[in-house]
Every structure is written in C-alpha cells, then in structure tokens.
Amino acid sequence: MLGNRVTLKDVAKRAGVHPSTASRALNSASGRTSERTVQRVMQAAAALGYEPDQLARSLKTKQTFLVGVAVPDLLNAVFPAVVRGLEAVLGEAGYIVILANTDGDTARERASVRAMTARQVDGLILMTSQLRSSLVNELAGLQIPLVLIGRVVDGIAMPAVAGDDAAGVFDAVDHLAGLGHSRIAHIAGPQDTSTGRDRYHGYLAGLRERGLELDPSLVVVAQAYDEISGARACRELLGWTRDFTAIAAASDGIAFGCFDALAEAELVIPRDVSVAGFGGLPSSLRTGPPLTTVAFPYAEIGRLGGELLLAAILGENVPREVVRLKGQLVVRGSTGPPVSQTDVSTA
Amino acid sequence: MLGNRVTLKDVAKRAGVHPSTASRALNSASGRTSERTVQRVMQAAAALGYEPDQLARSLKTKQTFLVGVAVPDLLNAVFPAVVRGLEAVLGEAGYIVILANTDGDTARERASVRAMTARQVDGLILMTSQLRSSLVNELAGLQIPLVLIGRVVDGIAMPAVAGDDAAGVFDAVDHLAGLGHSRIAHIAGPQDTSTGRDRYHGYLAGLRERGLELDPSLVVVAQAYDEISGARACRELLGWTRDFTAIAAASDGIAFGCFDALAEAELVIPRDVSVAGFGGLPSSLRTGPPLTTVAFPYAEIGRLGGELLLAAILGENVPREVVRLKGQLVVRGSTGPPVSQTDVSTA
DNA sequence: ATGAAAGCGCTAACAG
DNA sequence: CTGTTAGCGCTTTCAT
C-alpha cells in the first residue's frame, strides 16, 4: 500500500558500502565504524530520505517500543487524563501508545489485549480489570511487563498505581457526617471492580468512624461510573426512600447523575440533599452548585504507571504491589449542613 | 523480552506438515487446503496456544492494521469523543489505534507522525493541523491514506470531516442578536487553525446578518481552546472594555473560562453578560448556569472519519474534500436578553 | 494439495 | 573497520 519506500539496501548502495555497514553506521551504538563511512552513509540516508522500517527492525531486535493501553471508557474524563500522563512519560522514552477502549466488556478487553500482544507490544497498561480477572492471570503467566492502573485484581499481585479509593470515600463521608448528616446514602460503583468495592468499603469505614449505622436501603450500586448510570441508581434510591440528607457518590460522574435525578424529584442541592463526588474532574468545579469532591491527581497516576512500566520493560524488579495516591477533599457548594425538618416547615 | 513464543514452525511440526502448509491452513483464504490438514493444524495451533506474530506477517504483507491518530489535547473532551468514534469503527474492521498527543506543538506532531509511519501504519488521522501545514503537504506526497478531522489545511485538498464551524458561531451570534444584544464580543480560537479562523468568520457573518458593526475591541484571540486560555482572553477583554452584553466563545472550554473571568469581575451570567459556547460538551449541561452552546456530534465525526480512512485504505477513491456536519444550537440558561442600563439602575 | 525456496527489511554474529 | 552469512516469523510464488 505504501509507495516504494527507500530501504537500507538503497542507502548502502548509494554510499557504496554493504547494508550491514550502513546499519552500523546509522545505529552508532552497535559497533565502531569509521568516521568517513558514517558520514557517507548519513548523507546517503538524508539524500534519499531514508526512514528505517521499525517493523523489520522489531522483528529482529524483539523490541517494538510499543505499549498497549486499555481503558474502560474514554468518555469518562478520568481516563484521558491518565492516558495523557502515560503518553507523556512513555513518549519521552521513545515508546508509542496503542489505545483500546473496552467499554467494560471483558470480551473486548481480551480481544484488544490479544491484538496488542500479537503486535508484540513491549508492555501493557490495563485500566479495565475486573476484580477477578482470568486475563490478568494469564498475562502474569506470560512474561510481558504489565502495570495495572486504577483497578487492581484480587488474589494476584501485580505492579499497580491507583488512587486511595477507600480513604477518598471515607473522607467524603467523614465530611458529610461532620456537617451533621446521619442519613448518608452511597451510590456505589460496579462491585466487580476493585474501585467499586474499595469505595464502598470506604463508605462503611466512614459510617463506622462516626458511629453511624449502615442502612442497606441507602446503598445502591450503579452499573457504571457515568452520569446515566448514576442518575438511574439515584432514581432507584429515591424510589425506595427519601429518608436521607446526603449522598456520597462513588464518582463525579455518578454525582452528576444524582444532580439530574434529584432535580427531577424537585430536591434542591444542598438544601434538601448534600452530594459529594469522587474524582475531582475539572467539570466538577463549575456545576451549579459546584461539586464537593475528593480530587485525585490522575495525570500523575498515569505518569507513575508509565514509569513503573518503563522500569519493568528495562528488566528492573518492580514490586508487585499497589502504589496508592491519596486524594484531597475539596469542599464546595454541593454539600452543607442538613436542614432539620422543623427548619423546612418554617421556611 | 517476550518469553519463548510458539511459532508457526512449532505448529507445523506438531501437525506434521510444512510451515507453509500450516500458514495456508490457518489463513483459509490464501489457497485450498485439505479439510483434514486444516483440522490438524488448527488443533495443533490451539494445543500450543499459537498466536501469529503480526509483526512478521506485516513485514511480508505490507499491511499492519495499524492506524495512527494524532490529537492536539486529550484533556479537551472533544477529542476523546472523536477518538472513541474512530476507535469503534476501526476496531470493528480489525484495525488498532496508535495515539499521540501533540499539545499543539508542530515539532511533536512531526515526531509523532514519523514514529507512526516508521511503524508502517496503514493510515493516518490528524486532528492537529495548522492552517499552513508543511507536514500535511509532505504526507500528501507520500501515498499514505490520510484523513483530517476537525481541522483542515489551506491550499491542499484532503479528505476531511469537521463540524460546520462558521455556521455554528453564526447561529450563536444570531441567537444572541435575536435576544436583543448588539454589543457581542467574540473570544476567538487560535488563528493559525482552520477552526479558529472559520469560527471567527462565522462571528463576522452573524454580525453582518444582523446589521451589527464589527468593533475590533470586542474580539480577543485565545491561545488555545481550553478554559485557562479562555479565562485569560476574557480578562484581557474586560481590561479593554465593559461595553458589551454578550460573548460568543469559540469553544465550550473558552466559555467556561469566561465564566471564571466574569465571576472575578463580579459580573453575573446572564444578567450582566450572556455567554454562548461552541461544542456541546456534556459538562456544558450542568454548569451554573447551564451553557447555551452549539452542540456537535463528535463521536459521529470520529466514526465518519474512520469510515473515510477505511475506504481510503481499501483503495477506494475518497473525495479530497471536507465533509461538514452541522451543529445544533442548544439554548440554556447562560444567555438571555440584555438588561438595559435603566433597568439595572432601578434594580 | 503440499513441500521447497525465497524474501519482506533489518540486525548481529563471525570472519577477515 | 567492513563484508559475508544467517535469520527474526511469516507468506507466497513455484514446482511437484
């Protein structure tokens, strides 16, 4: 399909040397080559506009400088941020990113990873893992460098970078309880992901810390972290009970969904219900009202993940454990003290 | 780096056939092979967990099923949306996406594209082009299939998909003028991109349509489409004059920046200043107040771009022209009729 | 229908 | 320091 590309042989011929000599001359590292031939080869290459074929090179060297990255949902702003951080670090080191969106579909995840390994990627970043992932297990069996970002997997130790999910929601719940809320709902994330589970555990820990009892009817699991799923879950919650004054959402997206669902129910934030998010997306800053949330440094998480992968690729011994970055509670307008029933009636 | 992978030779040996036969058996398309050997080879492959090496295959077939995609800024939600659409179409067709973020830096763009062509991508999608792009020129010289998305290039015809930028801003200005605004400012995008220029022209056309005169002091050019640049530009505008009642921003991001800058100046939207955006990002829905904007189907743009590229890769004759998708004005709370001076004083 | 041989473009021993 | 030779893993003529 590509036109008649200039090959190393052409360069060699023009420079009047053997292809292998040309190769050495261009990859100065490999072996010593006379200054003069280096010059001539370089000139020939430049004159012909020679561009080495990475494919052929990789076939020989077993290095592609390709890294596969699988994300669950590019439309969730968390992931572009992480990918950005990743791409910056990896790009600087000469690696280039292959990206696949999996939509949380295990089959697609598998297919994507297959396509990546078939292309001999030097390493893999997965942000898509289910809690019980046979895929990660298999990958661990292969020797391919692998770093998990965001989500971890039960029972199998892997290098991973993630936010401190439990602590984040703990802080949110603690904040809400501190404002005086005692009926705090939780819209949880998918419970087949570590993030969903860990954030739920953070919720439980927060309640416990404040001596509040768990009311199972105040917990609804959203199918995904996005706004649609969040709105749906919040509507479900409202269908069951209105006896709560605050919601700790498992993500900013879910919190935005709550905004919608609460508005439909003609409930005002934060007067009727306080809402706290999780993530700290830029868009959380300008909602009406601005969203109280726990902000995580996603680009930094991406960068760190990239560095770990790079280290693993270089054969360094990367600890198979999760590095957790703390989030930062940012209090904004979507949370406030609960309004007592009597207050409402006098209003 | 990868462990001892199973090769086609291994499969052939196990099946008791020649490697070339094994190859044929697996790629049923190539030539007829006896039913029996196909079975045996398939079984052998399955038993060994054979995974063909795309690298080697590509080297021979001159097809990588790799598509390079360059975006200016992943943090701008427009681009993840486009990439998502792209990736869906391309993935379905068996292609996989190489992604690079260029930060609007021409040198990085060049480097990324180089890295991609060196890897023999079957096609290229560029969303990064400057109005005068030597890169696109060179790429047009090579025979590599190329589709531009979002931005086009002056003087060189290329297959491209983009929003109807001019019409979009035209509609926004028309809407504002219809509300009674006559002093409408424009925060423009970078004028070295087609989007920046076209949207500016849409602004001019909108003024003309309504018989409003252009006041150059009401036009400020932002350095980028993001919120920071938008806020900066809006502050600049406010530094010059406050004699305007509406802003037509060249992007939602810029509009969000205006929200910030106007708030700093203690100007209330839409009472003091109406703000209209451009893009229709999900986050525009929940701002306080919700942003009036022109919504574009970015995923669809991505999908279309992907389809065009696929067609080009297949050798079909793709017209070297821009397909423009119309946006849809969505009126929300950030725009309203201007409040006359007298009204303000009586308030 | 299958085996033999050649080669994609490059690098890496090994001689000389 | 450079040319020769071999081969990465696969596909594809060409015989048979």
> What pLDDT band is residue B3 in, cutting at 50, 70 and 90?
very low
Tell me the C-alpha distance between A231 and A248, whole Å. Answer: 14
Distance in angstroms, CA of B2 to C1' of D15?
Answer: 37
Separation of alpha carbons B110 and B118, rounded Å:
12
Average pLDDT over residues B305-334: 97
pLDDT tens profile B165-188: 999 999 999 999 999 999 999 999
pLDDT class of B33 with cuts at 50, 70, 90: confident
Confirm if B166 and B178 have CB atoms less than 8 A apart. no
Contact A50, A11 (CB under 8 A): yes
Answer yes or no: is pLDDT of A9 > 50. yes
Instruction: Tell me the C-alpha distance between A297 and A321, whole Å.
Output: 19
CA of B229, closest CA in chain A: separation in Å? 15
Q: Answer yes or no: do A56 and B51 touch at CB < 8 A.
A: no
Give A243-290 pLDDT, tens digit per residue.
999 999 999 999 999 999 999 999 999 999 999 999 999 999 999 999
In 3D space, the residue among B130, B123, B125, B136 whose CA is nearest the CA of residue B82 turns out to be: B125
- Coil, helix or strand for A45? helix
3-state secondary structure B257-321: HHHHHHHHCCCCCCCCCEEECCECCHHHHCECCCCEEEECCHHHHHHHHHHHHHHHHCCCCCCCC
pLDDT tens-digit series, residues A179-212: 999 999 999 999 999 999 999 999 999 999 999 9
pLDDT in tens, A106-120: 999 999 999 999 999
Question: How far apart (Å, rounded) are the C-alpha atoms in residues A281 and A107?
Answer: 29
Q: Is the CB of residue B114 inside 7 Å of nucleic acid strand C?
A: no
Length of chain A equals: 347
Q: Does B95 touch chain A (CB under 8 A)?
A: no
Contact status, residue A136 vs residue A129, Cβ threshold 8 Å: yes
Residue A112: partners with Cβ closer than 8 Å, 6 or more residues away: A68, A70, A100, A102, B91, B96
Spatial distance from the CA of A59 to the C1' of C9 (Å): 9
User: Which pLDDT does position A341 carry in this prediction?
Assistant: 58
pLDDT tens digits for range A286-308 = 999 999 999 999 999 999 999 99
Are the beta carbons of B233 and B262 closer than 8 angstroms? no
Q: Is B282 on the interface with A (CB under 8 A)?
A: yes
Compare CB distances from B80 to A80, A290, A315 and report the shortest one's residue. Answer: A80
pLDDT of B36 strictly over 90: no
Q: Alpha carbon of A67 to those of A63, A70, A305: distances in Å?
A: 11, 10, 12
Q: Residue B27 above 70 pLDDT?
A: yes
Res B58: pLDDT: 97
Q: Is the dihedral of CA A233, A236, A238, A241 positive or negative?
A: negative
B211 Rama sector, left if φ>0, alpha if ψ -120 to 50, beta otherwise: left
Tens of pLDDT, residues A129-164: 899 999 999 999 888 999 999 999 999 999 999 999
Nearest nucleic acid nucleotide to B22, CA to C1' distance:
C2
Mean pLDDT of the A99-128 span: 96
ω before A52 within 30° of 0 (cis)? Answer: no
Which residues, 6 or more positions from B197, have their beta carbon under 8 angstroms from its beta carbon?
Answer: B131, B191
- Please state, rounded to an integer, the average pLDDT across all residues of chain B: 94
Mark the nucleotides of strand D covered by protein, meaning any atom under 7 Å from a CB. 1-13
CB B237 within 8 A of CB B174: no
pLDDT value at residue A345: 43
- Give dist(CA A266, CA A114) in Å, integer: 48
Sign of the C-alpha dihedral computed for residues A251, A255, A261 and A262 taken in this order: positive
Bigger pLDDT: B142 vs A233 = A233
CA separation for the pair B331, A301 (Å, rounded): 38
Tokens at residue A208, please? Answer: 């416990």
Q: Which residues of B touch A258 (CB under 8 A)?
A: none
Element housing A25 (H / E)? helix A19-26
Read off the amino acid at residue B248: A
DSSP H or E run through A297? none
pLDDT-based confidence at residue B28 (cuts at 50, 70, 90): confident
Tracing tokens 């942000």 back to the chain, one arrives at A127
* Smallest CA–C1' distance to D13, residue: B20
pLDDT at residue number B35: 86
Half-sphere exposure of residue A55: CA atoms within 13 angstroms, side-chain side: 24
The per-residue b/e assignment along B195-222, b for 16 or more CB within 10 angstroms, e otherwise, is: bbbbbbebbbbbbeeeebeeeeebbbbb
Which segment of A222-231, B33-42, B109-118, B337-346 scores lowest on mean pLDDT? B337-346
With cut-offs at 50, 70 and 90, classify the pLDDT of residue B208: very high
User: Is residue B273 pLDDT above 60, yes or no?
Assistant: yes
- So what's the pLDDT on residue A5? 83
- DSSP state, A191? T
- pLDDT in the model for residue B193: 97
Partners of residue B66 on adjacent β-strands: B96
Categorize the per-residue pLDDT at A36 as very low, low, confident or very high, splitting at 50, 70 and 90: confident
Sign of the CA dihedral B194, B197, B203, B205? negative
**CA–CA distance, B222 with B220 (Å, rounded to integer):** 6
Tell me if residue A56 falls in helix, strand or coil: helix
DSSP B211: T
What pairs with residue A124 in β-bridges?
A68, A146
B58 CB neighbours in chain A (<8 A) are 55
The dihedral built from the CA positions of residue A285, A291, A292 and A297, taken in this order, carries a sign that is negative
In chain A, the percentage of residues whose pLDDT exceeds 90 is 91
The answer to whether residue A93 neighbours chain B at the CB level (below 8 Å) is: no
What pLDDT band is residue B2 in, cutting at 50, 70 and 90? very low
Say what the pLDDT of residue A344 is: 47
Q: Looking at the complex, does the CB of residue B77 fall below 8 Å from at least one CB of chain A?
A: yes
